Chain A
């Protein structure tokens, strides 16, 4: 048995499916592909796959990964990639298969590119609004938790950022805390911006890369 990490892009139509839908789609593709991976041994056996860091609905993911356990250790990675791509919808494309170098729980940060625009407003204005928000020492937002609404400061979770003015939008490159303990969803950042300015933004969000706590790319 060998732990294998399957790297894929989630884009186009598949941007709009939830993590649960992605999970189901992947399991079905794995089943169809007949790749010799380990199945659960319950009453309804199904292929076993885990995702180190789920991606929110609506985000594009260019470096997403999923872990499976390969039963036949000799089975070629290239074959996994080709077979899976033949079984997946066009919005999900496997581009690499590797051994799982780091443990899934090691994910600590994620980098995003966020394109923000306001209908009928210049991208310069949006850049200025972003700049103003990110300069603050604290960025507080209301977050739904199990005990009702609570206020959290997401500023400590913003590890680095840069804002660039493009022709029709503002481009924000940002690295945020990620993982099971201390996760900042970029939607929270946009919600904070909306709260500060009273504007409704169109946002196009791409997750680029995951990192461990040492800022090494997650592999």
Chain B
């Protein structure tokens, strides 16, 4: 629903279809019939936000509750933002067209650190004060946030009233129910937040006092007003009973992932040491093939999508992947629905899987060896062998594929220039494998794309204490790969090191960064994840103005006994385990995955999931 005022702007901006709503399956309610209005904000463009599964799940779930109306809000692209500001149009929700300031809850999902400025900018555009303090004590405009970045909420602690830690399906609704009750009782916001803090999985930053040592590290972190000393994450234990939408809002303009998405499991058995998702979503919990099949079918029927993507952190690790694909292909061909299986592991690409996905769509193949040398892959616990990768590529080439994309990281702990050069060598080895595969596509050349991103140490990983390489070190490594590639059949791409640096600052930042964030918002920073807008120079000037050294957060080695800014948050994986994993990395020693052997990370305390599966060798 768009107002006349907005309509006048729409023809002046790119892709105006992003700003109007009105899609199939959007939920419209009468605002007089609801008690809670929730603005679900995605701090990036419509095309990015509409591709996000978590938002789809929570949007449908909120709206399945009669007293809640949940609407969508996205960050307007720079041209639209300019027009809105010029014409005094506050940021509005797509369903009702009402400004953000009309909402009880303004919720953000935090998928990446570089979207923090967009979060603040959206509040500003919505004419909602950005800090908890400035929003006052009235029971409205409650700013909440969740998502993976909520695992270190500290750099944005001044702006968010409460964080949801872990998976949102249950805790979100508990908070809505408490709000409804508080509203009836006439409680104020402070009272509401105090009571919220008693709900497991809710972190209210304003209820904690932080003190610092002279060197800038944390001295103490003290809860007040009865808030818990440690906030434990929430998670869904029975995935078959967990809410899943049978319907998505179907966008009219093309979005990044324009297809139905079916979640098949949460968590990952692997424990790659750089990967935050691999630790914070533990333990692995699968949906049964029957549940997946039924949900998948309903989703396709209700949306009209002719493509469905099976979503998880590592699809080939689904324990019943082949029976599942068999079930799905029973109807998908006839219904003209194609299946895609992203996040395939190098060692999971079997003939059987290949033939199942090939029956419907031949997309490019992407693998992530992450590191070039075997030693380096052992350090990060990737558990992929060189021969396995070559074998997999040979399988794919024999199956008719001619392009392979390989993802790597540079700047990993203990990395040497030889490890870096090994990335180029691995690309060459894949090319050689192509020509050695007897039945590769006739008369066609092979194309191998090697992409290198820069390692960003993240909280709740064994590398959370590690320094990030400096930007100049990263540049040197990028150049070294470039020099080491000798064939035109290997194409090299790399990710900008500047943005990785800023990501590293905010990923492991503390509350002192809030001042920088506030200033960034004042100066109109936005879309830092987009090259069009990002400027490291501008950020460096801000840091200097605030008297903050970003290298303190990004490039400093932290000691095992330092209090980390996120130590008061518990994701089930114990710090002791992460330390042990870090030590093993230094010794080039791998850790077997959860199905081979339990390594005692701590996630078994939840009492479900892979920790309690029967291991194959024990059966």
Contacts and interface: CB of A to CB of B under 8 A. Distances in A.
Interface of A: 12-14, 16-18, 20-22, 24-25, 28-33, 39, 43-46, 57-58, 87-91, 202
Interface of B: 2, 8, 10-11, 15-17, 19-24, 250, 252-254, 301-306, 336, 338, 360-362
A44 B303 contact: no
B336 A31 contact: yes
A130 to B, nearest CB: 19
Contacts, number: 75
A170 to B, nearest CB: 17
B73 to A, nearest CB: 16
A7 to B, nearest CB: 20
A90 B10 contact: no
Sort A-B residue pairs by CB-CB distance and give the 8 closest, nearest first: A13-B22, A32-B304, A28-B304, A13-B20, A16-B16, A17-B17, A17-B252, A89-B24
16 contacts: A13-B20, A13-B23, A13-B252, A14-B22, A14-B252, A16-B16, A16-B20, A17-B17, A21-B17, A25-B250, A29-B24, A32-B302, A32-B303, A44-B306, A58-B10, A88-B24
Given A58-B10, A58-B11, A28 B20 contact: no
Given A28-B303, A32-B303, A57 B16 contact: yes
A46 B306 contact: yes
A53 B530 CA distance: 36
B336 A16 contact: no
Nearest to B15: A18
A6 B493 CA distance: 47
Contacts of A90: 22
A87 B22 contact: no
B17 A16 contact: yes
Contacts of A43: 361-362
Contacts of B362: 43
Among A22, A28, A57, A90: residue with most chain B CB under 10 A:
A28
Given A31-B304, A57-B16, 10 more contacts: A13-B20, A13-B21, A17-B252, A21-B17, A29-B24, A31-B305, A32-B301, A44-B338, A57-B11, A58-B11
Contacts of A17: 17, 252-253
A17 B16 CA distance: 7
A89 B252 contact: yes
B334 to A, nearest CB: 11
A33 B304 CA distance: 8
Contacts of A46: 306, 336
Nearest to A24: B254
Nearest to A32: B304
Given A21-B252, A24-B254, A44-B361, A12 B22 contact: yes
A44 B333 CA distance: 10
A13 to B, nearest CB: 3
Nearest to B360: A44
Among A16, A31, A33, A39: residue with most chain B CB under 10 A:
A16
A43 B361 CA distance: 7
Contact of B10 (A16, A29, A44): A16
Contacts of B304: 28-33, 87
Contacts of A33: 304
A43 B254 CA distance: 21
B303 A89 contact: no
B227 to A, nearest CB: 44
A45 B336 contact: yes
Contacts of A25: 24, 250, 252
